[in-house]
């Protein structure tokens, strides 16, 4: 198809109603070549009724930029019971049940399956291309994915949760919409280990108007660039506060979370936030290889002579695994220990993708049997050397047929009360297709490459192979270290403040304090100057200078601070400023991220009203400028101005001329809170500096320290 395309034949979409369990790098390379040639690759998700996130189906489970994986829906918009699905791997659904199709000898017959669903998507692609032949393969794919109808049966079963709508797709490509959704101010609201709660305000379809169609949240590793889909969901109405909690992928402690917002015409906006997590939470084990150790001998038979079978087993002690304690597990004849019950039909077919999706220990995961009649000593044996160790030893053969005897299997798993896992390998263990590793049921598992057969390479041998140890990573306490949870953040200019998270790690039993301060640009630039320093945010114009102290109580690991954001009404590029941490209390120290860059996402449009002309903006500025704090709930000044017929004092003879902005501002200047506190600090500094006027950044810390109503204000 690529060659035909290169020869000028107008091929734009490929239908692939086929597939199976085996992956092929050469096939993936060919799909990527098709992408480079501008070809859409539509693939059937499969008809096993299984989760492709756990048991992949190829080619539909490949991660390629031009691929759409399609599930089968029926006329009731239900997911067919035979259709494969996958919240991270299957993109959408399309009709595939009782579809009338052509058959030989000029006849028609009804068929069902994802092979019927896939041509619907490919055909819809042809309709879109007929309406706009110049659409790129990237936009074509997005239009098909994001113009479908939301369907409850596909929610959490597919990436988009949508069923194909050909009419919507053709309408989207012809409407000429090039305006993306607004970029939301994505921030980290809280974090507990690898669990990160994100917050933002919902944008619209075009900027902040209309309804966007889909969010995609993903994580990109800072070191490797590896990308993980975390979640997808439908946006709320524009302006609605939204939040979601996601888990950082195991073994990836530092990276960037990306929120992509799509509209029906395939336009997108992207918001990002940097994030990191403690190693003990996100990378909880330290794998190591060592010299081969002899297997245990003797022990108690579990009478587990079977093929592809499971057995519930009670441990002699509570065993910690990925942060949870377990007293009961499920054993498999195929060399595994499962921690969340019987896994279903995935057990015989070992694969890394299935390991990633299952909370388990794969000691030697292969198709093992312990029931050959000519080998009466085959079984799973239990040995307990002491109260803190349990050994489970598999003695069997590799399955090569119902009546044939395959290569001998001998290996064991040792579990220790402290969470350590050890695997040992004895004689035999040849011609294997094994997977060896451990997993918390989410990417990314610990896989021992030397003990795992890389598909589709030939089988490997684990005869007297090296011993593997998975040691729990110690949660090193050490002195309290205080830092921002990420090196960058973003906030929409329309939001009142930027919420920044400061975290404390290490020993948390005591009290710690840390100072923070905005790094203010001292350049003499007017607030309406949008050309002198594009991309630079200025204090008092774009944000309020903020200097204060944060106190962590005993046991407290996270605090949030608010930096007031000022909506200046000027159309300008996104602007950034920095906030730094300094002066940790004795016994505490600065962590890895002592400075954070905050990007203000501009929200202004040409010709829009100046926000300073609105009462809420004006009153808030009086509080920020005079009192260094946000307005009180139910403050009286807005009501005074809203009730005035002459708030801007345009008519001095007006009956309400005395109830104008001048009065309000002078009232703040004359208020006891300002005169006895803020103004006192200002005049005190002037005396201390030999009549030199103090810079605002010099006095704001003390002004914040004394801020708050005085008895005369209440």
pLDDT tens across 23-64, in order? Answer: 888 899 999 999 999 999 999 999 999 999 888 899 999 999
Give the strand pairing for 575-582 and 446-447.
unpaired
Residue indicated by tokens 């399956």: 113
What are the distances in angstroms from CA 357 to CA 35, 83, 255, 440?
A: 28, 19, 21, 8
Pull the structure tokens for residue 39: 């070809």
Handedness of CA 433, 452, 279, 490 (dihedral sign): negative
Chain centroid to CA 713: 47
d(CA 218, CA 159): 12
Helices (H) and strands (E) in the chain, counts: 13, 38
Pairwise CA distance, residues 129 & 152, whole Å: 29
The owner of tokens 């040409």 is 606
Q: What percent of the chain has pLDDT over 70?
A: 91
Q: Is the peptide bond before 59 cis (omega within 30 degrees of 0)?
A: yes
Closest among 548, 562, 552 to 506, alpha carbons compared: 552
What pTM was estimated for this model as a whole?
0.66
Which 3 state secondary structure label does DSSP give 487? Answer: coil
Q: What gap in Å lies between CA 504 and CA 142, rounded to an integer? A: 41
d(CA 518, CA 527): 18
pLDDT confidence of 218, banded at 50, 70, 90? very high
Q: For strand 99-103 and strand 107-111, is the pairing parallel, antiparallel, or unpaired?
A: antiparallel
**503 and 491 Cβ atoms separated by less than 8 Å:** no
Quick check: 329 pLDDT over 90?
Answer: yes
Residues 452/437, Cβ–Cβ less than 8 Å: yes
d(CA 71, CA 44): 7
Pairing of strands 285-290, 575-582: unpaired
Number of Cβ within a 10 Å radius of residue 669 = 13
- pLDDT interval class at 676 (50, 70, 90): low
The confidence score (pLDDT) of residue 714 equals 38
Residues 6+ apart with CB under 8 A from 457: none
Residue 664: CA count within 13 A, CB half-sphere: 27
Q: Based on the number of CB atoms within 10 Å of its own CB, is 15 exposed (0-12), middle (13-18) or buried (19 or more)?
A: buried
List strand residue ranges (DSSP E) for 30-184, in order.
40-44, 67-73, 92-95, 99-103, 107-111, 149-150, 162-163
- The per-residue pLDDT for 54 is 84
In the chain, % of residues over pLDDT 90: 62
The two three-digit tokens of residue 204, written as one number: 């619209």
Distances (CA, A) of 216 to 357, 470, 554: 20, 34, 37
The two tokens of residue 37 are 């040639």
Which is more confidently placed, 435 or 628?
435
Identify the pLDDT of residue 494. 86
Task: Pick the most confident of 131-140, 346-355, 632-641, 665-674.
Answer: 131-140
CA distance 694 to 682: 7
pLDDT for the residue numbered 709 = 45
**Could you read off the pLDDT of 569-585 as tens digits, one per residue?**
888 889 999 999 998 88
Stretch among 8-22, 173-187, 461-475, 584-598 having the lowest mean pLDDT: 584-598
Between 231 and 705, residue with greater pLDDT: 231
**Burial (CB count within 10 angstroms: exposed 0-12, middle 13-18, buried 19+), residue 319:** buried
Give the CA distances from residue 57 to residues 40, 86, 96, 678, in Å, rounded to whole numbers and listed in that order. Answer: 18, 10, 18, 68
Residues whose CB is less than 8 angstroms from the CB of residue 547 and which lie 6 or more positions away in sequence, other chains included: 515, 516, 517, 518, 697, 700, 701, 704
Q: Give the containing element (helix H, strand E) for 411.
A: strand 408-416
Structure tokens at 189: 């609201």
The Cα 397–Cα 376 span in angstroms is 12
Cα within 13 Å of Cα(141), Cβ side: 20
Using one digit for the tens of pLDDT, what is the confidence trace for 242-264? 999 999 999 998 889 999 999 98
Q: DSSP per residue over 336-350, as a string? A: EEESSS---TTTTS-
Question: pLDDT tens for residues 341-352?
Answer: 888 665 667 888
The answer to whether residue 422 scores a pLDDT higher than 90 is yes
| Helical spans, DSSP H, in 164-259 | 166-174
Rounded to whole angstroms, how far apart are CA atoms 109 and 180? 44
Which domains does the chain carry?
Answer: 2-174 (3.40.50.200), 285-472 (no CATH), 477-608 (2.60.40.2030), 611-713 (no CATH)
Answer yes or no: are the C-beta atoms of 364 and 411 closer than 8 Å: yes
| Residues 713/674, Cβ–Cβ less than 8 Å | no
Per-chain mean pLDDT for the chain:
89
Q: What is the pLDDT of residues 264-278, one digit of tens each?
A: 888 999 999 998 888
Q: How far apart are the first and last CA of the chain?
A: 79
Lowest mean pLDDT among 58-62, 89-93, 150-154, 351-355: 351-355
């Amino acid at each position: 198809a690529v060659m035909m395309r290169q020869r000028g034949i107008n091929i734009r979409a490929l239908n692939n109603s086929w597939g199976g369990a085996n992956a092929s790098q050469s096939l993936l390379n060919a799909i990527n070549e098709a992408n480079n040639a501008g070809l859409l690759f539509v693939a059937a998700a499969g008809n096993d009724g299984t989760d492709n996130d756990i048991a992949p189906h190829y080619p539909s489970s490949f991660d390629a930029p031009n691929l759409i994986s399609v599930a089968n829906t029926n006329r009731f918009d239900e997911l067919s019971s035979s259709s494969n699905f996958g919240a991270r791997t299957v993109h959408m659904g399309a009709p595939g049940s009782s579809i009338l199709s052509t058959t030989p000898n000029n006849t028609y017959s009804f068929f069902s399956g994802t092979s019927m669903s896939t041509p619907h998507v490919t055909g819809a692609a042809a309709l879109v291309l007929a309406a706009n032949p110049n659409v790129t393969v990237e936009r074509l794919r997005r239009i098909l994915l994001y113009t479908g109808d939301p369907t409850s049966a596909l929610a959490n079963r597919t990436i988009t949760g949508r069923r194909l709508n050909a009419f919507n797709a053709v309408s989207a490509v012809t409407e000429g919409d090039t305006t993306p959704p607004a970029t939301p101010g994505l921030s980290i609201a809280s974090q507990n280990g690898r669990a990160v709660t994100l917050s933002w305000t919902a944008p619209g379809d075009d900027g902040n108007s209309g309804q966007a169609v889909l969010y995609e949240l993903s994580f990109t590793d800072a070191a490797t660039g590896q990308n993980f889909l975390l979640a997808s969901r439908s946006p709320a109405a524009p302006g609605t506060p939204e939040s979601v909690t996601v888990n950082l992928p195991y073994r990836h402690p530092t990276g960037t979370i990306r929120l992509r917002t799509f509209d029906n015409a395939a336009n997108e906006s992207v918001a990002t936030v940097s994030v990191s997590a403690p190693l003990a939470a996100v990378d909880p084990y330290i794998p190591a290889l060592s010299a081969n150790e002899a297997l245990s001998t003797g022990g108690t038979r579990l009478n587990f002579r079977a093929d592809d079978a499971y057995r519930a087993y009670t441990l002699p002690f509570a065993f910690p695994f990925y942060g949870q304690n377990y007293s009961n597990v499920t054993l498999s004849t195929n060399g595994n220990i499962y921690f969340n019950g019987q896994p279903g039909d995935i057990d015989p077919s070992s694969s890394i993708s299935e390991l990633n999706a299952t909370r388990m220990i794969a000691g030697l995961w292969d198709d093992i049997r312990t029931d050959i009649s000519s080998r009466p000593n085959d079984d799973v044996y239990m040995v307990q050397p002491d109260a803190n160790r349990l050994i489970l030893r598999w003695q069997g053969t590799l399955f090569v047929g119902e009546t044939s005897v395959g290569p001998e299997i001998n290996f064991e798993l040792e579990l220790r009360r402290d969470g350590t896992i050890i695997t040992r390998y004895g004689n035999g263990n040849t011609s294997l297709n094994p997977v060896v590793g451990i997993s918390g049921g989410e990417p990314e598992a610990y896989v021992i490459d030397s003990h795992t057969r890389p598909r589709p390479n030939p089988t490997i041998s684990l005869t007297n192979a090296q011993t593997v140890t998975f040691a729990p990573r110690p949660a090193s306490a050490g002195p309290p270290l205080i830092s921002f949870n990420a090196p960058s953040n973003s906030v929409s200019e329309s939001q009142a403040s930027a919420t920044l998270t400061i975290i404390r790690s290490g020993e948390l039993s005591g009290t710690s304090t840390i100072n923070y301060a905005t790094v203010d640009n001292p350049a003499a630039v007017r607030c309406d100057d949008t050309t002198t320093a594009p991309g630079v945010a200025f204090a008092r114009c774009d944000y309020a200078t903020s200097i204060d102290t944060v106190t962590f109580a005993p046991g407290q690991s996270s605090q949030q601070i608010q930096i007031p954001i000022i909506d200046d009404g000027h159309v300008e590029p996104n602007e950034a400023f920095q906030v730094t941490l300094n002066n940790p209390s004795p016994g505490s120290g600065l962590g890895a991220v002592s400075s954070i860059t905050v990007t203000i996402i501009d929200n202004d449009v040409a010709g829009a009203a100046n926000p300073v002309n609105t009462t809420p903006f004006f009153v808030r500025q009086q509080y920020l400028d005079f009192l260094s704090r946000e307005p009180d709930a139910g403050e009286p000044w807005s009501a005074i101005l809203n009730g005035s017929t002459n708030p801007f004092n345009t008519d001095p003879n007006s009956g309400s001329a005395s109830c104008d902005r001048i009065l309000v501002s002078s009232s703040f200047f004359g208020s006891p809170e300002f005169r006895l506190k803020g103004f006192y600090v200002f005049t005190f500094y002037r005396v201390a500096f030999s009549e030199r006027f103090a810079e605002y950044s010099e006095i704001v810390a003390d002004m914040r320290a004394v801020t708050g109503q005085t008895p005369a204000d209440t």
